Amino acid sequence: MDYRKLGSSDLELSAITYGAFAIGGNMWGGNEKQDSIAAVHASLDHGVTSLDTAPFYGMGLSEELIGEAIKGKNRDKLQLLTKFGLVWDGSNNGKGDYFFDASADGKTFPVYKYASKANIIKELEESLKRLGTDYIDLLQIHWPDSTTPIDETMETLNLLMEQGKIRAAGVCNYDLSQLKEAEKTIQLASNQVSYSMLNRAIEKDIVPYAVEKNMGIIAYSPMERGLLTGKYFKEAKLQSDDHRNGYFGQFSAESVKALLDKIEPIAQNKNASLSQLVLRWTSLQPGISVVLAGARNATQAIENAKAAAVSITADEMKFINDAILEM
């Protein structure tokens, strides 16, 4: 595993960071508690030191599982990354940006993007309790909230850093104008954004800005939620309540399969899996600090962690990039 400094902060994260969205279960066809905890333990045993979660993942379940998994571990050796700003319990009293309707336990309820000072403080205290810790290494706004001034949100994050409750502040899914507005108030450690072989939009403006400002980029969905592993072109099937039944529809299955067929021999020559090659390619792209990789069991977690050791030559990188451009 290699470890990378996150922007201008003093955080050093593992290049492959554990992404804990799926273990929340909601939107992913459920989860198995012991498998989820085993996935976190396996990640830690194989060099992953950074764990990224959020209150919304399983409506608190993901954070609770992370908290249980790290109980008794050396907290100073771990980096806990979580978020705020998605409210599903009605505590926002209708304030904020309506986002979508979520379902859990047979119930449907509205989710709002809401990042007021009071809500940030409330959510942080809840996260600290679930995670069983007294500080968060990186606290991030989950999605932009147009109803709360950006400076109010950023001033709150500055306050939490001054209080020692968080070590660094980041954002997720911010566009260029939002980043510039935020940085009038705070020096951001990172922007967590979607990035993959199939989605390289951030290369146009977000990456150059981040490089110029010494801001980290945390790439999520590098495997497009499993599509780039190739397993869904083979025997793997999705549960009926898995959001990926709709998510995968945005891509041309024929084009994605053709890409994977082209690059799979490179992985095979390295005794690596397609997912390991994809993760490593992503982590080596300019401006990318760390890559989030989800795992629902120990086997997947170990495979993800070992992706950091995969080598890609300049010629192989060119071949992969050309194959992507030909899609």
The residues annotated with a catalytic role in the active site are 57
Helices 150-162, 117-131: crossing angle, 10 deg rounding: 40
CB 66 within 8 A of CB 51: yes
As a three-state string, the secondary structure of 278-315 is HHHHHHCCCCCCEEEEECCCHHHHHHHHHHHHCCCCHH
Residue 275 DSSP symbol:
H
Residues of the chain by 3-state class (helix, strand, coil), percent to 5: 45, 20, 35
d(CA 45, CA 57): 24
Interior angle at CA 310, CA 220 and CA 218, nearest 5: 20
Cα-Cα-Cα-Cα dihedral sign, residues 8, 219, 274, 27: positive
DSSP structure string for 168-194: EEEEES--HHHHHHHTTT---SEEEEE
d(CA 300, CA 308): 14
d(CA 16, CA 2): 8
Q: 304: which 2 tokens?
A: 């993800």
Output b/e per residue, 20-54; b: 16+ Cβ within 10 A.
bbbbbbbbbbebeeebbbbbbebbbebbbbbbbbb
For residue 10, give the 3-state DSSP assignment: coil
d(CA 251, CA 138): 32
Closest CA to 324 of 198, 195, 207: 198
